[in-house]
Amino acid sequence: MQNKKIIIEKFGPAKDLVIKSHEDTRVVGADEVRVETAYSGINFADIVMRQGLYQDAPPKPFVPGYEISGVVTEIGKNVTTLTVGQHVLAGTRFGGYASQHVLPAWQVLALPEGLSLAEAAAIPVTFITSYLALHEFARIRKGDKILLETATGGVGVMAMQMAKEVGCEVWGLTTSAHKKEFIESYGAKALLKSEFENNDQYRDFDFILNSSGGKSLSIQYDRLNKAGKLTCIGVQGAISGGKRNIFSLLKTVVQSPRFPILKLTMESKMVSGFNALKFFDDDPWMQRILPKLNDPGVKPFIGKIFRAEDVAHAHDFLESRKAKGKVLLSWKD
Ligand SMILES: NC(=O)c1ccc[n+]([C@@H]2O[C@H](COP(=O)([O-])OP(=O)(O)OC[C@H]3O[C@@H](n4cnc5c(N)ncnc54)[C@H](OP(=O)(O)O)[C@@H]3O)[C@@H](O)[C@H]2O)c1
């Protein structure tokens, strides 16, 4: 059976991604399953690692990708939770951009009711990240005023819905004026990032989810309510254009503020950050988060699906801010 993979062999622009095919001779172990991929989710982190700016990425060459959906084609002798032919989704710690997977059965879940295979591939990262941000770090409550950066992206769309479910007042930022309507369609208030930053009447937020790092952290910290929480999950500010830009990364690092404990004490605010990958293979955490997948009320928005062969166009599409919601790769011919 052929396994097609998309590989980062060298850091650089999207056109440097390499596609290779080889005979897959892996034997499915007793506690494993083989999955034929239907879709792979693309995340902003894939762009960051392709540019060589992602600290936790494996050494080159490697296959990026954190999530897939597909069909189970073989199960190990100890596996009782899944059956051949079942539609599933799976989190992958890298390696997701491939047409075949052999995965431990615990990483693979039956599709929640009402989700298509495409929607399922858009779930693992957006759901786990949004859940951690809103329910574990922020502990949001009805009436909270919250601000989400990159509200139009995969995580943003999921987080807007989760926060609305709880009854929060949700504000979303975008850098693209034409996407404001998209944010408003989720019942949130939309602002350009520059409108927010240049007008300090936008303040008193109980929670802000930051995804760009750098000086945006200082501005957002100042706009928190008392007991307000700021959580940082990304460094999008460091990414400019399709090319690796170390200067831009350094600028973002240098402009990221320090938050001494005495300052936080005097100003009665909280600052945190997290990496969802750290929770991914932690069984008690996953047992706590994954059952919530079956709660109604959240659905990913699929902005565009590219053929796997067109992965370079898919990355360019995301990097040039054309995307809304989630961008996927399809492995069907
Ligand atoms: N720490 C974690 O565990 C974790 C997990 C998941 C995601 N994240 C982070 O959360 C953020 C959102 O991730 P995502 O996968 O949901 O995003 P995404 O779907 O890839 O979002 C793409 C959108 O980001 C906006 N954007 C802002 N700055 C950009 C830039 N420099 N280059 C290109 N686009 C830019 C654009 O939206 P507008 O046109 O609307 O501005 C673009 O359409 C990222 O920073 C990501 O690294 C962190």
- Mean pLDDT across 168-178: 98
Contact 234, 274 (CB under 8 A): no
Report the C-alpha gap between 177 and 183 in whole angstroms. Answer: 11
Q: How far is the CA of 318 from the centre of ligand 1 (A)?
A: 9
How much of the chain exceeds pLDDT 90, in percent?
A: 86
Atom 29 of ligand 1, residue of closest alpha carbon: 236
Atom 4 of ligand 1, residue of closest alpha carbon: 233
Amino acid symbol at 271: V
Closest residue by Cα to residue 319 from 232, 256, 238, 253:
238
Q: What is the pLDDT of residues 198-227, one digit of tens each?
A: 999 999 999 999 999 999 999 999 999 999
Closest residue by Cα to residue 162 from 191, 134, 203:
134
- Position 159 scores a pLDDT of 98
Most ligand 1 atoms within 8 A of CB, residue of 40, 43, 44 to mutate: 44
Three-point CA angle 322, 44, 324, nearest 5°: 30
Is the CB of residue 152 below 6 angstroms from any atom belonging to ligand 1? yes
Q: How far is the CA of 224 from the centre of ligand 1 (A)?
A: 22
Q: What is the pLDDT of residues 5-19, one digit of tens each?
A: 999 999 999 999 999
Give the CA distances from residue 124 to residues 109, 111, 198, 299, 308, in Å, rounded to whole numbers and listed in that order.
10, 11, 35, 12, 19
β-strand pairing of 32-42 with 100-104: antiparallel
Atom of ligand 1 nearest to the CA of 319: 33
Q: Per-residue confidence at 264, pLDDT binned at 50, 70, 90?
A: very high
Is the CB of residue 239 below 6 angstroms from any atom belonging to ligand 1? yes
Atom of ligand 1 nearest to the CA of 151: 40
Residue 246 has pLDDT above 90, yes or no: no
Q: Per-residue confidence at 295, pLDDT binned at 50, 70, 90?
A: confident
Residue 296 has pLDDT above 80, yes or no: no
Q: Taking the model in full, what pTM does it have?
A: 0.96
Q: How far is the CA of 150 from the centre of ligand 1 (A)?
A: 6
